Structures are given as C-alpha cells and as structure tokens.
Amino acid sequence: MVPSHENPDWVESDRTTPTTPDGRSFRRIVGTDVDEALAFFTADYDFRTPRVRRTGNRPMWDFAGVGDELLSLRSSRFLVDLRTESAVDDKFLVAWLRAGSSTLTVDGRSVDLEPGVPLVLPDRYELHHRDIGVNLVELDRAHLRALVGDDAFAFDPLRRPTAEGMRVWQAAVREHTRIWLGADQTLTPAARRSIVDAFATAAVEAFPHRERWQSTVTGNGPEHARLRLALEYVHAHARDAIGTAEIAAAAGLSPRGLQQSLRRHLDQTPGDLLRSVRLDGARADLVRGDRDETSVADIARAWGFGHLGRFSATYRARFGELPSESLRTR
C-alpha cells in the first residue's frame, strides 16, 4: 500500500511529523536501531514488555504513513523476531501481511496472519512478528460508530472476510489509497471525508462484526471467554428446550460457576439471560410478522413461553407495549 523505504531521502533525523498542504500528517522513516524502532512503534501501538531477538546482521526497520484524526494508511517493516502485548482503544485496525510471518493470540487462541488477507485486529492481543512487513488501515472508532448509527458497534476480530468481503475491501484500497497517499497534493475537506467514509463503509461491509450482545462481555481472560461461549450458545439455541445445565456445559462451566460468572459480569441469572434472549427473539418475529398471518400465541410458544398471559405481562414490562401492539406496528 505504501512503498518501501529504500530512498535515503526518507530518513528522518529530528522525528518531527510534517504535514501535507491540507493538514494531513505524514512520516517516512528508515533505520537500523532496534531501540529507536521499539520506541517509535510502542508510542502508536502500546507495546507492553516487548522482547526482541535479532534475525540477521542488520535489523532494518521502516515506516511510512499518511493520516488525519479519522483515517491513517500505514506500512511498516521490522526485520527482527518480536514478541509483545499490544493494545489499541480508540481505533479499528485492519492489517494484512506483506512479508514475514505473524501470529496473534487472544484468549489462548492463536491466529496466523496470511499474506494479503486483511483482518480486523483485537483491542488487546499478544503478537509474535518475524521479519514482518505489514500494511495497516486505522479508522477512528467513534467516527465509524457514528457512521453506522450504533455506539456499541464492534467487529468480530481475526475472522476472515468472505470472498465478497475481500472484493469490497480490495476495491476500496485500490480506488482510494493512491489519492490519500499523495502527500504533495491538497484534498478538500469534502474529498478527505469521502475517502474516510469509503474506507469505513467498506470495512463494515467486508468484515464480520459482533451483534450487540457480543459486546456486553468486556475483557480477555479465560472467564470472559467461557462467558462468551455461554452467550453464543443461548443465542443459537434459545428456541430449544435448554436450561442452566445445558448452558453451563456448552461454556465448560459448572452450573454454579455459570451462575457466579453471569452475576459477576452481567448481573443476571441463567434464567434471566435465557428469558431476555427469548423475549428479543419473539419481539423481532412480531415486528417482522404479518398481522393477518401471524399469531402472538404461536410466536410465544416458538420461543418457549407456554403461558400466554405471563408472556404478555413480561413482554410489556420489557418493551412497554403488548405483543399484539408490536405486531400491529408493522
């Protein structure tokens, strides 16, 4: 995406950040000092306790990037063996490998980056880079969420895009990268915003993202991972005859452990969770239903509510209207 840095004119000595005529910042750096490289990359990617091993006589590193507060296109190379933890809180990062190898680990699950295959990076992860060359697109998180109209929007990180998703993302990269990286040309505010929104829209279309409930459990520890398994199981099987025992087994927890984990992180019991998911499912069916062909009783039974009166009362307490009123609003 950004060319490599063989040109010695790209070396920066004072580490200042120049700007383009329209105010975008750009940096082009090449060096061989490992400590200098770690200081530079740590400032942007919050490397924690990095551990470096040389893989050759000359640990070359370089970086190029053009960006503003909403979008940054970056390319970097670091010819060492690097292990560290990393964290980014205010951006969505899309990365794809150009050279070398990289393994990212989250919640004990490791994923190897594949050359040319873009992935959205997690907020927190362990990395192992080996003579890496990588491209990055950084998108401002708040802006993307405002664009999609969901302040809890989140990608499901480290999941490959579909073939169509790859096509959408690659088309955006081809169409807009050269223009954005033209550091010597001026882009109007409207043109800059158009490119920002094109990348953000392409990311939303291309990469798997979490449903809102998938963002309710924050944290990356083993307990958080098991609790996410419990939530995934409930959402996948809410129409089935399941209860605490089945949910706990799916999450690798004891029934007591499930109860404690749900109470600690979501302030719910397993029954509360299952009932909430079933109510959401019933509401979605009612809102989409045809009032001339849809029965409230049939939908209630399909979602595990055997007593219509109790279902209606619980539904009204949750959504502020009766099931029949939701059906009529279509």
CATH tag for 8-206 (out of 3.40.1280.10, 3.40.50.12280, 2.40.110.10, 2.60.120.10): 2.60.120.10
- Residue for token pair 């099931």: 323
Average pLDDT over the chain reads 88
Pairwise CA distance, residues 160 & 10, whole Å? 34
119-147 tens-digit pLDDT:
999 999 999 999 999 999 999 999 999 99
Q: What is the CATH number of domain 212-328?
A: 1.10.10.60
Separation of alpha carbons 77 and 147, rounded Å: 32
Residue 212: its pLDDT value, please?
67
Tell me: the pLDDT tens digits for 271-305? 999 999 999 899 988 888 777 677 899 999 999 99
Domain ranges across the chain: 8-206, 212-328
Distances (CA, A) of 83 to 104, 127, 143, 232: 10, 6, 31, 31
What's the rounded mean pLDDT across residues 203-222? 78
Phi, psi dihedral angles at 51 (to 5 degrees):
-125, 125
Which pLDDT value is given to residue 1? 64
pLDDT of residue 7: 34
> Which has the closest alpha carbon to 145: 197, 218, 220?
197
DSSP string, 217-233: S---SHHHHHHHHHHHH
- Residue 196, C-beta contacts closer than 8 angstroms, at least 6 positions apart: 70, 71, 139, 143
Q: How many angstroms separate the most distant Cα atoms in the chain?
A: 77
Q: Give buried/exposed letters for 107-134 (b at 16+ CB in 10 A, else e).
A: eeeebebeeeebbbbbbbbbbbbbbbbb
* pLDDT tens, residue by residue, 138-180: 999 999 999 988 787 889 899 899 999 999 999 999 999 999 9
The pLDDT confidence band at residue 211, using thresholds 50, 70 and 90, is: low
Beta carbons within 8 Å of 292's beta carbon, 6+ residues apart: none
